[in-house]
Chain A
Amino acid sequence: MTEVVYNIPISLFSGYRGKNVIVRSYDPVEMVMGLSDYDLDHLVAVQLLSMTGNVDVLTNWGNGIPIDLLMLHPQTEFPFLYRYAKLLDRHPLRVCIPVVSGFSKAVKVATSLKLFVKLEIGQPDPSLIDEIHRVLNFYIHNPMVALPIEYFHSTFLAMYHSEQSSLWDVQEENPVNIRYVTEDGRETIARRLGTDRAEGNFDTFVADWQSSMIAEKAECYDCRYFRHCGSYFKWPRKTYRCEGVKSLFGTLEEAAQEMQGEITVLTQAQKGVA
């Protein structure tokens, strides 16, 4: 059984000793000061909640500690990524980009700086689908994209290998694996966008949600992408219409099939079949 990872504010760090934690803070200085006296064996990653802190303190702090940068306003914050790219010498670096109008520029700059990207997609407004498609095509076709853009990458791989996947896992929001701890110490589901917080039995939260969607014969009931989505896009607003996100799955599926076909032909050729 996988050990749960807790996403905690730095103020609660001492109370979670011995547990796997992602520690979050707005201030890199607070992060370094707050963690410097502790054993970091169970530190899974640190999350920086602001793009404007003093990044220099992280350049000679530890080695190989994964850093998550959480953007709030990618349309205006994308130039700040240049401040953080120098951390790559020491730390794996990922930028979490909310899918809001103009987010694609942040994706482009992040990939140009060789940063991992995770899209905080939530339930995207239909007006954003075109921009998400542009980013998806950039991910699929641009040879300069050298690192994963999630959730595209994991979903593409699952489709390519004809395996099941779950956006709850890909997006690190499945409370079986990861729990968000609020400032006042309440455990809830990890979800940055929106204000909804799930409570109840976290071990069955996703399964229960999926069952309810199927039982209600929501779009999920006969959706061909359910095995990759798992009703992710129906939460928290179950009335969310999925046409747009289905078209994104469709593009990923076509790309995966195209690659499957090409690899099959090449493999056969190598074996002398063709």
Chain B
Amino acid sequence: MFGRHFSVILLPTNKCNVACDYCFEDKTDDFMSIEMLDEIIEKLLDHMDRKDVAALTIYWQGGEVMMLPPAWFERANDLIARKAASRSRIVEHSLQSNMIGYSGKWNRLIREMFGNSVGTSMDFPNLYRRARNRSPAEYTNIWNRNVREARDSGIQIGVIAIPNNETLRLGAERFYSYFVDELHITDFQVNTSFSGGEACDAKLQSILDLHGLSKFVVDLAHIWAERGFRGGVKLGPFDQLLNHFIGDIASLPCIWQQNCADEFVSIDARGYVAQCDCWVTSYPDYWFGNIFAESSFTDLLEKSPARRKFQMRPEKLMTEESCSDCDYLSVCHGGCPVRTYSITGDFFRKDPYCQVYKALFSTMEQIAARVAAERASHTLPVMRVA
């Protein structure tokens, strides 16, 4: 399992400093101690030895990671580097933060541990992200200030945005302009929402009309292709789809991997293990186990009935859904299990955003054909005649 590399989405705390209306996480006040981290890393490295896995990427998320002090991460970084070196393994780190707790004191750590890069999130317009008892506008102001400060310090910022009903009403042009022209963000991605955790109005509203969302992503694709692509603006997953359809190396998002169970797992601050951060924070019934309760992480994974369901999902979709007849099977493989489960309540259905994905795939395929033809015309003049 996991081949030569695997990834862990590690939640060193389940606590968050904000209270976004549509958050899928059932948050707790738990923090991971360095001693707990030590045990987790030891077991992960045992697993890597046992499975001959050479490299590990840890995606640090929460809760909110910046609820822990930079000093905690410095100790964590030293500990992990030391243990990995003693086993001749490679461990790399990636950071996802809401940036609300960011200040300049994080800069050295971000540079040394995280390659001077942070992933964060913001919507346009921001309807649901807020600090407790504060407005979305106040949240946006703090986020803008902190992101600007981080960028001024040379930190690369990548932004995840989730469209909402207002986004669709305002349209792709306004959305794109907000991030690229107003905020000068050159690396952002569009995600679809899912209504994990306890139900509330914001979560129900966050599930958008699929026709409207399809139109939005198609419009956005064209805008990016015309204005952003050549200017170096990265817009995920549009840019990776373009690579894919052109035939270049593409890194498609986790929702479209052939089987996410072969790619990564998530571990929360209490040691619970599940498929990803969405599952570990929202659905206890789908936990694989607790890493502190088992002597072997490998055994935990291999014996987990919940994990077996994830492994079986693509197979089931091939027979019980229309995926094997789809022109875009090679890109999608049936989509994201957590979106499927949270929206339909049925694990073994295809991703309910299927219609949106197909609209996007089709559009990016057409754009890729244009780009490929243009490339050819630059090197092979006769193609212009043809």
Contacts and interface: CB of A to CB of B under 8 A. Distances in A.
Interface of A: 56, 59-60, 78-80, 82-83, 85-86, 88-90, 105, 108-109, 111-114, 143-144, 146, 265-266, 268-270, 274
A274 B5 contact: no
7 contacts: A56-B1, A59-B1, A60-B53, A85-B262, A86-B1, A112-B330, A112-B333
B329 A108 contact: yes
A90 B379 CA distance: 37
A56 B302 contact: yes
A86 B264 CA distance: 12
B329 A78 contact: no
Given A78-B318, A266-B380, 4 more contacts: A83-B315, A89-B5, A114-B330, A265-B382
A55 to B, nearest CB: 10
B381 A111 contact: no
A60 B315 contact: no
Nearest to B314: A82
B245 interface: yes
B295 interface: no
A139 B12 CA distance: 48
B50 interface: yes
Nearest to A265: B382
Contacts of B259: 82, 85-86
B4 interface: yes
A108 B245 CA distance: 17
Interface string B309-331: 00100111011000010000111
Nearest to A83: B315
Contacts of B50: 60
A108 B311 CA distance: 20
Given A56-B1, A90-B4, A269-B380, A109 B247 contact: no
Contacts of B2: 59, 86, 89
Interface string B1-40: 1111100000000000000000000000000000000000
Contacts of A265: 382
Given A112-B330, A270-B380, A146 B247 contact: yes
Interface residues of B, number: 31
Contacts of B329: 108-109, 112
A56 B51 CA distance: 10
B52 interface: yes
A108 B247 CA distance: 18
A109 B314 CA distance: 11
A59 B1 CA distance: 6
A85 B51 contact: no
Contacts of A89: 2-5
Contacts of B247: 143, 146
A267 B32 CA distance: 63
Contacts of B77: none
Nearest to B5: A89
A105 B382 contact: no
A146 B53 CA distance: 27
Contact of A82 (B52, B53, B318, B379): B318
B369 to A, nearest CB: 9
A60 B316 CA distance: 25
Nearest to A114: B330
A274 B330 CA distance: 38
Interface string B218-260: 0000000000000000000000000001010000000000110
A90 B329 CA distance: 23
B52 A60 contact: yes
Contacts of B383: 266
A84 B200 CA distance: 41
Contacts of B51: 59-60
Contacts of A90: 3-4
A124 B3 CA distance: 38
Contacts of B333: 82, 112
A16 B330 CA distance: 40
A268 B262 CA distance: 48
Contacts of A85: 258-259, 262
Nearest to B244: A144
Given A86-B1, A90-B4, A143-B245, A266 B315 contact: no
B218 to A, nearest CB: 20
What are the nearest 7 A-B pairs in CB distance?
A: A89-B3, A269-B382, A112-B330, A79-B318, A79-B315, A86-B262, A112-B329
A274 B247 CA distance: 28
B97 to A, nearest CB: 30
Contacts of B53: 60
A274 B318 contact: no
Contacts of B4: 89-90
Contacts of A274: 382
Contacts of A108: 324, 329
A60 B318 CA distance: 27
A133 B188 CA distance: 43
A113 B258 contact: yes
A265 B376 CA distance: 13
A90 to B, nearest CB: 6
A76 to B, nearest CB: 9
Interface in B272-301: none
Contacts of B382: 265-266, 268-269, 274
B243 to A, nearest CB: 13
A246 B92 CA distance: 55
Contacts of B258: 82, 85, 112-113
A268 B381 CA distance: 10
B238 to A, nearest CB: 18
Residue among A82, A113, A114, A268 with max Cβ neighbours from chain B (10 Å): A82
Nearest to A273: B382
